[in-house]
Amino acid sequence: MLFDTHVHLNADQFNEDRDEVIKNAQEAGVTHMVVVGFDRKTIPIALEIAEQYDFIYSAVGWHPVDAVDCTEEDLNWIEELSTHPKVVAIGEMGLDYHWDKSPKEVQKEVFRKQIALAKRVNLPVIIHNREATADIVQILKEEDAHEAGGIMHCYSDGVSYAKECLEMGFYISLGGPVTFKNAKDPKIVAEEVPLDRLLIETDCPFLAPHPNRGKRNEPAYVKLVAEKIAEIKGESFETVAKVTNKNAKDLFQIS
Ligand SMILES: [Zn+2]
Ligand SMILES: [Zn+2]
């Protein structure tokens, strides 16, 4: 009973074999997933997939890399879509300082607006963070994001920031990097963060876990993430699967 909380089955990389990939996931024990849409192109496809499969849900938001393209009309559209019965979160949103397409100030503004939106519509937020943890934590605090709650998706920073996020009621989601041989921080985070605050994800088609690193990632591989967390925590695979599944259902209010 694995819950992959962050997939991009709406990406072009799955155009040829999407149904087969979904079937593989079910065979690997994936019982739920959230397809994340983050712009005008990917949101409608995410909703289409969620409408087609009852165990697939969707999140809608605007990606920070493209913040410069985000208009008020786009945000109104996302707010309207938030009432769709399969939409369980707003995002992904956040800050990405790796790419310089959108100036930091623009990213911050679009991020703040989406937190406010999520609070209005009463849904949790999914946070994308690349090289911007300090600013993200500051904005989450300033915007009272604890009222919405949410996920630090594919968390890759250290334990001290993770603890600040936990204090705000956020969940920490770990993906493929926790399985990488050279990844120190995600392993320490897996050890230190209580299991009832952890989620698992693939972020497919990116960041495939070891031993599939470098290949196209897919939801079936979330099993490798759960196995690694179980090994690090000294828990059974079943316990990690069960608890992270319950955490996700609680957050997304899926019964
Ligand atoms: Zn992301
Ligand atoms: Zn993503």
Confidence at residue 1, expressed as pLDDT on a 0 to 100 scale: 94
Query: 213: exposed, middle or buried (C-beta count within 10 Å: 0-12, 13-18, 19+)?
Result: middle
- Counting ligands in written order, the one closest to the CA of 153 is 1
Whole-model pTM: value is 0.98
- Counting ligands in written order, the one closest to the CA of 128 is 1
pLDDT surpassing 90 at residue 100: no
Tokens of 71: 């208009």
| Mean pLDDT to the nearest integer, 208-229 | 97
The pLDDT tens digits of the residues spanning 19-62 come to 999 999 999 999 999 999 999 999 999 999 999 999 999 999 99
- Return the residue matching tokens 């072009």: 12
Confidence at residue 168, expressed as pLDDT on a 0 to 100 scale: 97
Name which of 252, 255, 249, 240 is nearest 29 in CA terms.
240
Length of the chain: 255
Helix, strand, coil percentages, rounded to 5, for the chain: 50, 20, 35
What is the residue-averaged pLDDT of the chain?
Answer: 97
**CATH code of 117's domain:** 3.20.20.140
119 CA from centroid of ligand 2 (Å): 21
Name which of 111, 142, 106 is nearest 125 in CA terms.
111
Q: Is the dihedral of CA 189, 195, 201, 202 positive or negative?
A: positive
Contact of 226 with 29, CB cutoff 8 Å: no
The pLDDT tens digits of the residues spanning 64-84 come to 999 999 999 999 999 999 999
Domain range enclosing 12:
2-252
Name which of 133, 129, 142 is nearest 96 in CA terms.
129
52 CA from centroid of ligand 1 (Å): 24
221 CA from centroid of ligand 2 (Å): 16
pLDDT surpassing 90 at residue 255: no
CB atoms inside a 10 Å sphere around CB 154: 25
- Counting ligands in written order, the one closest to the CA of 152 is 1
Name which of 223, 208, 222 is nearest 13 in CA terms.
208
Number of domains in the chain: 1
